[in-house]
Amino acid sequence: MASTADYKDRQFLAVIGDEDSVTGLLLAGIGHVTDPPDSQKNFLVVDNKTETSAIEAAFESFTEQRKDIGIVLINQHIADKIRHRIDTYTAAFPTVLEIPSKEHPYDPEKDSVLRRVRRLFGE
Amino acid sequence: MSGAGDREAVFPTRQSLGLMKSKLKGAETGHSLLKRKSEALTKRFREITRRIDEAKRKMGRVMQVAAFSLAEVSYAVGGDIGYQIQESARQARFRLRTKQENVSGVLLPAFESYQTEGNNDFGLTGLGKGGQQVQRCRETYARAVETLVELASLQTAFVILDEVIKVVNRRVNAIEHVIIPRTENTIKYINSELDELDREEFYRLKKVANKKQRDTAAADAELKKKMEAEDKENAGSGGGQAADILAENEDDDVIF
């Protein structure tokens, strides 16, 4: 269970997504770069050339290392690439949320949480 | 005797019987309380799952609209603005606040989004052309993110509730299927042992009483016989007895 101190200072969102999704979400104003010297971005743009290991590293940094992120948004087709990581991720904070992207319509069957919902209700 | 069945290792005394009885009562109270808690949580859980399902579908639509407005922007601006925006992001305008909600003793956190005033990283985006589209796109995306935040808090509540319900149900089952039967077994065992002791004690007392009765009867009979014999002798020979005494045993000589 999450303790109280665990989520008090989580006030940012993080994004792992393709260029369009990230651009749109940044326009909404969620982008944040921490103060120098270690300026860390809270977003990662993934294109065809991005290595899976880089996505995993970003996911790990957003979910485990940084303590100021409350929600991690990840495009569903990118989540598919690191599906095993997403499925084994069960902590409450930060919440991992799969979002649709422009080219890839949303498929509720793949979503790790929705799959749990379905399994619980035996559908 | 209830040697069979799982029971606690206690001595069968009245004191431990009392202890076990109060323990059983406590376990039953706890069981009903936990059961009610689990039911309340499950009710909440079902509501949340239903809302998640709805919210996920809504998210699909909202994100579609948002993506479309972004396409409008790149058409109006006439080029890719992605790079420019990624480079100019500095301070988050859109932030989260967490608050707690209490559902039968379980603290469920909920996210709430708010926008900080006064800092705008993208003031110059679309300055040349397409500024209106950029503005609209920002509003659309802000609404989309609000939906996402709502969904995220539902999802967090879902994860936490799922875990808590599992724990509570495990406890309910443990009390129902392990602790209560075991305590009942122990009580049965102590009762049967105490009964056994009672029976033994009763039997022993009966034996003692029997023996006492027999002894008294025998003593009575002997006394009676003796008295009868005495009576007969007294009645039969009156003076002979004194003569007998003299004749029977001569006194030893007394030597000084």
Interface test with B, best of A9, A21, A27 (most B CBs within 10 A): A27
Closest residue to B155, CB basis, from A28, A95, A108: A95
**Chain B environment of A113 (Cβ under 8 Å):** 52, 155, 158-159
Q: What is the ipTM of this complex?
A: 0.79
pLDDT at B197 over 50: yes
Q: Domain residue spans in chain A?
A: 4-120
**Can you give B170-181 as a three-state secondary structure string?**
HHHHHHHHHHHH
* Tokens 């579908």 -> residue: B57
Å from B19 to nearest chain A CA? 34
**Chain A environment of B95 (Cβ under 8 Å):** 11-12
Strand A69-75 to A43-45 pairing? unpaired
pLDDT at B2 over 50: no
Q: Are the Cβ atoms of B148 and A24 closer than 8 angstroms?
A: no
Q: Are the Cβ atoms of A70 and B98 closer than 8 angstroms?
A: yes
**Residue B26: pLDDT band with limits 50, 70, 90:** very high
Return the pLDDT at A22: 84
Return the pLDDT at B244: 60
Distance CA B109, CA B164 (A): 14
pLDDT tens-digit readout, A7-54: 667 788 888 888 888 888 888 878 788 777 677 788 888 888 888 888
- The count of residues in chain A is 123
Helix axis angle, A19-28 relative to B14-77, nearest 10°? 100
Q: Determine phi and psi for A17, rounding to 5 degrees.
A: -165, 175
Q: Are the Cβ atoms of B59 and A99 closer than 8 angstroms?
A: yes
**Chain A environment of B52 (Cβ under 8 Å):** 113-114, 117
pLDDT tens-digit readout, B96-122: 888 877 877 788 878 888 877 766 666
Q: Are the Cβ atoms of B96 and A1 closer than 8 angstroms?
A: no
Check if CATH label 3.40.50.10580 holds for domain A4-120: yes
Q: Determine phi and psi for B37, rounding to 5 degrees.
A: -60, -45
Q: Please give the structure tokens belonging to residue B207.
A: 């034996």
**Chain B environment of A104 (Cβ under 8 Å):** none
Using CA coordinates, name the residue in chain A closest to B93. Answer: A29
